[in-house]
Amino acid sequence: MEVKNNRIFIDTYGLQDELSPEVPIEEITLTCNPAYRYGVKGSAKDRETRLLADTLAELVSYAVGCMFGRYALDKPGLILANQGETIEDYLQQIPEPSFPADDDNVIPMLDGDWFTDDITERFREFLRIAFGEEHYEENLRFVEQALGKDIRKYFLKDFYNDHVRRYKKRPIYWLFSSPKGSFNALIYMHRYQPHTVGTVLEYLRDFKDEKLQARKNHLEAVSISSSASQGEKTKALKEIEKINKILAELDDYERDVLYPLATEQVEIDLDDGVKANYPKFGSALKKITGLSG
């Protein structure tokens, strides 16, 4: 199209000897054009691979937006994008959502399916609803192959870094994260309420005091069971040691960071911007260079 338009312009003004209608591929200003988006260094295949990975990362980002009610499969455009909006505001716009938004604005991001609203499980649900159960396994493989890793690993290792980069260090989703990342929970800042940190604390306590402790109790039973093999006992003892370290980390995070913050009932004002509000949460949130307090 650009070449055609250029040719019409050149012919109209008699500029055949001065201008060429051809447009270098890297100057075709479409974000779906990898040569424009990334430049022409490297092979065309490498650029296409990178474009596919970035496109699928954008799909994941959109899915997370649907999880929080920023977007919805049932209606175009932004749904919840004003400070303090709630799930009730969402349901007024989307009374019967095909993929409902999270009701408490806290989505755990952990190394397993510890919670039914874990971000990985919710993404799997998103794929099923958005693209159909029939092609779910194929679609999940396609996403994971494009991202270069399984979807849980992507969420744990790459998603938040990608989000921070996409929003130029002014993220709209904030990640509560313990020092070694054994506990992570994502919130949407536009739906933040002073009690939101308390909700994150409830998830932490449930994970630490109920779910991890139950797993540890089971492993302790295995380690002394007469019916367990020596290999099973050794494996159980190693996992118990790992859980003990996680419990110590999370006890410290609760006592020194999250509980005191929850009692403060921190207020934010989005008119002040992310730069002013993000540091209010200190070490409770994932550190972002140049932004964290």
Q: Tens digits of per-residue pLDDT, 90-139?
A: 999 999 999 999 999 999 999 999 999 999 999 999 999 999 999 999 99
User: Model's pTM, two decimal places?
Assistant: 0.85
Residue 15 pLDDT level (bands cut at 50, 70, 90): very low
Same domain, 81 and 212: yes
C-alpha 160: how far from its chain's center? 6
267 within domain boundaries:
yes
35 within domain boundaries:
no
Structure tokens at 244: 């003990």
156 within domain boundaries:
yes
Single-letter amino acid, residue 172: I
Same domain, 62 and 193: yes
Whole domain around residue 159: which residue ranges? Answer: 44-284
Same domain, 55 and 81: yes
CA separation (Å) from 281 to 113, 192, 193, 260, 262? 27, 12, 13, 11, 10
Single-letter amino acid, residue 265: Q
Same domain, 222 and 121: yes
Same domain, 227 and 124: yes
39 within domain boundaries:
no
Same domain, 84 and 153: yes
Which of 17-26, 96-105, 179-188, 252-261 shows the lowest per-residue confidence on average (mean pLDDT)?
17-26
289 within domain boundaries:
no
183 within domain boundaries:
yes
Return the sign of the alpha-carbon dihedral for residues 241, 242, 245, 246: negative
293 within domain boundaries:
no
Single-letter amino acid, residue 189: M
pLDDT of residue 41: 66
Q: How many domains is the chain partitioned into structurally? A: 2
User: Which run of H or of E encompasses 241?
Assistant: helix 230-253
Same domain, 242 and 204: yes
Residue 256 DSSP one-character state: I
Residue 207 pLDDT level (bands cut at 50, 70, 90): very high
Spell out the residues 6+ positions from residue 243 whose beta carbon is closer than 8 angstroms to its own.
212, 215, 216, 219
Average pLDDT on 37-54 reads: 66
